[in-house]
Chain A
Amino acid sequence: MKITWFLRAACAVAIAATGISAAAQEKTGNKPGFTLAPGTARIVLMRPTIWVGEQSTAGMPEPNADWTTQARENIARALADAQTGLGNVVISYDEDASGEGALVAEYSHLFGAVAESVIEYQFFSGNRLPTKKRKDSFDWGVGNGIAGLKSLEGGDYALFINVHDEYGSTGRKILQIVSMFAPGAGVSSGVHKGHAGLVDLKTGELVWLNADWEMGGDVRTAEGAAKRVRQLLEGFPGRPAEAPAEGE
C-alpha cells in the first residue's frame, strides 16, 4: 500500500515524458572535492535495510516475508564477499553495549529518504530544486548528530545500503502489455531500487552516493544478489580498479 512510492514512480514517468531520457538520469554523485585514497580510512558497513515484495496490478507494493528473508541472506553473503575488496578497512556495524541500535536504524531510514531525494531532485536533472541547482553542488547529509554515536566511534565513514524490490504481479505484467497499445502511456512492471552511500562520520555529510530506481540482479537468488551488490558498489571511492566481470 505504498502509495507515495507509486506517486514518485509516476512522477518519474511524467518527468521522462517531458523528454528527459532515462539515460540522462545520473546514478552517482559525490561531494565536490571528495576523494578517498586506498588504505586511509576505516569504514563502518551499516546493517542494510532490505524490503522485497510484489507489485500489484495498480502498482501498489505488497510485502513478501520469504523473499525478504532470502534477499537479506543473499545480500549479506554478497557484501561479506565484497567487503575485503573495497580498498579500505571495512568493518560491519556492531551495536555492542551502546544501546544505540534503534537510533542507528533510524539513521539508516533517514539515509534512505535522503538518497531518494537525491535521485528525485538531483539525479533527474530536469527536476532539480532551484536552490540546489544554483549552488551546483552536492549538498546532502543526515546531520552532524551522527558524530556523537558511541557505536560508530573510530569509524571515518558509514556505508549505508538500502534495497527495495517489487516484482511485478501477473496482473501488472498484463497491464504493461496492454499499455503498449495506448500511445504515450508506458506502464512499467516491477520496482528495483538500491542505494549505497558513504556518510562522513565527523560531519554527517553524504560524500558519495550510488543510487538508482532501476537496478539489476534478482536479490532472491545468490547470483542476483551478488550482481546487485556489484552494481551498488560500482565506483566505490578508494576501491582499486578492476576489470569488469564477464557478461556485465
Chain B
Amino acid sequence: MTRLLIGLSMGLAAMSPAAANSLVSAGPRPNIAGSSFSAAPVDEWNRLSRKDGKNVEIWTRDGDQLNKVTFFGGIPSGKPLVREIDKKRQPLPKVAADMLITDIPVMLESTYRIQYAVSQMDIDSQEPATLGGHKAIRFTYRFAREDDGVRRKGEAIGAFVGGKLYLVTYEAPALYFFDKDVEKYRKLAATLAL
C-alpha cells in the first residue's frame, strides 16, 4: 500500500501545470537557481522549466539528455543535491557542515548511483580552483545510466560558501555531444560569480 501511495503522490505531484522552457540570452544572468549564483553567458541556452530540486536549475542546448548544465545554488546543510524520489528506500546523501570541497565529487557520485541508477561512474580528475573568489574544486567524471546505456562525460566546479554547497556541472554523451558543447560550458563557467 505504501508503494501505492508513493506512486499516487508522485502522479499527483506531476500534475502541477508546467511552465514553458525559457531562453537564456547572452548577457548578465543574476539569481541562478534562486541563489546568489550569477553568470554572463556568451552563447544562448535554454532554461528548462523542470525543477529537480528547490535550488536546482538546468540549462541545455539540445535537451538535457544531450547536453546539460546544472546549477546547484546554495544547497544548505542537511539537504540533498536533488529532490529525493523515495526518502525511505532511497535516501540521498546530504550536505553536511563539516564537508570539505574534496567531498563534493563523492557526494555527486553517490547521488547519481542512488537517484539515476548509475551503474558505472568514475571521477577522472580533481584539481583546486576558485569559484567567485572562493576556494573550489574542479573535477571531471564519466558515468553511464542503466536506463539509456549512453556513456556520458562530465565536468564540474564546486565550493562551499557560508556553509552552503554551490556546484555547477556540465554533462553530455561522450560520443559527439560532449565535445560539441564543452567550450560553451567553459566560457559560461568562466563568468560564474557568487
Give 17 pairs: A residue, B residue, CB < 8 Å, sorted on A. Answer: A10-B10, A13-B15, A18-B17, A58-B3, A110-B173, A112-B148, A117-B63, A127-B18, A129-B62, A131-B61, A171-B4, A178-B8, A179-B11, A185-B11, A186-B11, A187-B7, A187-B8
The listed residue (A1, A10, A130, A145) touching B22 by CB distance below 8 A is: A130
Is B145 in contact with chain A by the CB < 8 A criterion? yes
A-side contacts of B15, CB under 8 Å: 13-14, 17, 184-186
In the complex the two chains form, is B18's CB within 8 Å of A57's CB?
A: no
With A110-B176, A112-B148, A204-B176 known as contacts, the answer to whether A2 contacts B20 (CB < 8 A) is: no
Least Cβ–Cβ distance between B90 and chain A, in angstroms:
8
The listed residue (B16, B66, B86) touching A113 by CB distance below 8 A is: B66
A172 vs B4: C-alpha distance when bound (angstroms): 8
Q: Which 7 A-B pairs rank lowest in CB-CB distance, beginning with the nearest?
A: A143-B176, A117-B63, A10-B14, A130-B23, A2-B147, A129-B46, A109-B149
In the complex the two chains form, is B46's CB within 8 Å of A175's CB?
A: no
The listed residue (A3, A13, A17, A186) touching B116 by CB distance below 8 A is: A3
Is A93 in contact with chain B by the CB < 8 A criterion? no
Is B117 in contact with chain A by the CB < 8 A criterion? yes
The listed residue (B14, B65, B86, B117) touching A2 by CB distance below 8 A is: B117
Least Cβ–Cβ distance between A6 and chain B, in angstroms:
8
Is B44 in contact with chain A by the CB < 8 A criterion? yes
In the complex the two chains form, is B21's CB within 8 Å of A128's CB?
A: yes
B-side contacts of A179, CB under 8 Å: 8, 11
B-side contacts of A204, CB under 8 Å: 176
Q: Which of A115-159 contact B (CB under 8 A)?
A: 116-117, 120-121, 126-132, 140, 142-143, 145
The listed residue (A1, A114, A121) touching B117 by CB distance below 8 A is: A1
Q: How many residues of B contact A (CB 8 A)?
A: 45
| A residues at B contact (CB < 8 Å) | 1-6, 10-11, 13-15, 17-18, 49, 56-59, 61, 106-107, 109-110, 112-114, 116-117, 120-121, 126-132, 140, 142-143, 145, 171-172, 174-175, 178-179, 182, 184-187, 204
Is B100 in contact with chain A by the CB < 8 A criterion? no
B-side contacts of A14, CB under 8 Å: 14-18
A187 vs B11: C-alpha distance when bound (angstroms): 6
The digit string for B136-157, where 1 denotes a CB below 8 A from any CB of A, is 0000000001111111000000
In the complex the two chains form, is B7's CB within 8 Å of A172's CB?
A: yes
Least Cβ–Cβ distance between A213 and chain B, in angstroms:
14
A56 vs B10: C-alpha distance when bound (angstroms): 13
A141 vs B6: C-alpha distance when bound (angstroms): 37
B-side contacts of A109, CB under 8 Å: 148-150
B-side contacts of A129, CB under 8 Å: 21, 46, 60, 62-63
In the complex the two chains form, is B11's CB within 8 Å of A117's CB?
A: no
In the complex the two chains form, is B12's CB within 8 Å of A185's CB?
A: yes
A126 vs B21: C-alpha distance when bound (angstroms): 9
Is B186 in contact with chain A by the CB < 8 A criterion? no
In the complex the two chains form, is B46's CB within 8 Å of A131's CB?
A: yes
Minimum CB distance partner of B46 in chain A: A129
The listed residue (B8, B45, B150) touching A110 by CB distance below 8 A is: B150
In the complex the two chains form, is A4's CB within 8 Å of B116's CB?
A: yes
B-side contacts of A140, CB under 8 Å: 62
B-side contacts of A106, CB under 8 Å: 150-151, 175
In the complex the two chains form, is B14's CB within 8 Å of A13's CB?
A: yes
The digit string for B12-48, where 1 denotes a CB below 8 A from any CB of A, is 1111111011110000000000000000000011100
A-side contacts of B61, CB under 8 Å: 131
A-side contacts of B46, CB under 8 Å: 129-132
